[in-house]
């Protein structure tokens, strides 16, 4: 499958985009994590200030492991920041923390796309099962198994697509609150924007990869255009 010319044509560009996006976000984070925030705010402190300005007082903020493992859990209303962002007073830490606070604001404002993405999380697990079914189907030359697996894999694609507006909106809210509260301005605002833009591209790349894989599975499985060998 991986040496199939059609696979290389469809999925190859998305794979390259993913590599570029990962390199971009690491470069932006590395650059702006070395720039100390002028107000000496850590990511955790910036998140608290953003949430407080938005009238949100029931969200916990806690450190978590992993490089850039920052995320917001809407079920427990917990904002988790990687140690390098939770405890570091850098422009990058402030930007990422504000972005995660943006998700908490989305939940408080009942942003529909966030609710939809949260609902899709359990279903997205079926997509992993679907991917295994597709791989097994190709290996066993069982087209029916490929078709069923492709349909299940579609749940991952739906999740990735819905994620895009959620992430873009969270970054928009983050920048608005950072400026409104005076946390960043001038060059710091430019840096925060660059960090968030680079991070957003990783979601674009993930969505592109998922869509291109789904298209390949659908074509080779006969769901689109009939069965094509070669």
From first CA to last CA, the distance across the chain in angstroms is 10
Any idea which residue has 């869509």 for tokens? 211
> What is the length of the chain?
230
Query: Of 45, 62, 100, 167, which one is the catalytic site residue?
Result: 100
SS3 57: coil
Closest CA to 94 of 140, 29, 25: 29
Q: Is 188 a catalytic residue?
A: no
Burial of residue 65 (CB within 10 Å: 0-12, 13-18, 19+) is exposed
Please give the backbone phi and psi of residue 203, each rounded to the nearest 5 degrees, phi first.
Answer: -75, -35
Q: Which residues are catalytic?
A: 100
């Amino acid at each position: 499958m991986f040496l199939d010319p059609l696979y290389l044509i469809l999925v190859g560009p998305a794979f390259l985009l993913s590599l570029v996006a990962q390199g971009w976000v690491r470069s932006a984070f590395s650059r702006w994590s070395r720039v100390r925030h002028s107000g000496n705010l850590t990511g955790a402190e910036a998140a608290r200030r953003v949430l407080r300005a938005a009238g949100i007082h029931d969200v916990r903020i806690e450190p978590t492991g992993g490089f850039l493992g920052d995320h917001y859990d809407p079920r427990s209303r917990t904002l988790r920041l990687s140690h390098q962002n939770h405890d570091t007073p850098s422009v990058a830490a402030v930007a990422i923390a504000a972005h995660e606070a943006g998700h908490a604001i989305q939940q408080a404002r009942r942003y529909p796309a966030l609710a939809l993405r949260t609902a899709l999380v359990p279903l997205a697990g079926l997509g992993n099962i679907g991917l295994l079914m597709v791989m097994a189907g190709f290996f066993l030359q069982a087209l029916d198994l490929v078709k069923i697996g492709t349909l299940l894999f579609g749940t991952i694609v739906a999740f990735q697509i819905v994620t895009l507006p959620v992430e873009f909106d969270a970054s928009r809210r983050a920048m608005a609150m950072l400026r409104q509260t005076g946390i960043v301005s001038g060059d710091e605002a430019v840096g925060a924007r660059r960090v968030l833009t680079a991070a957003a591209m990783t979601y674009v790349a993930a969505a592109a990869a998922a869509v291109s894989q789904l298209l390949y599975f659908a074509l080779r499985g006969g769901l689109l255009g009939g069965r094509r060998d070669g």
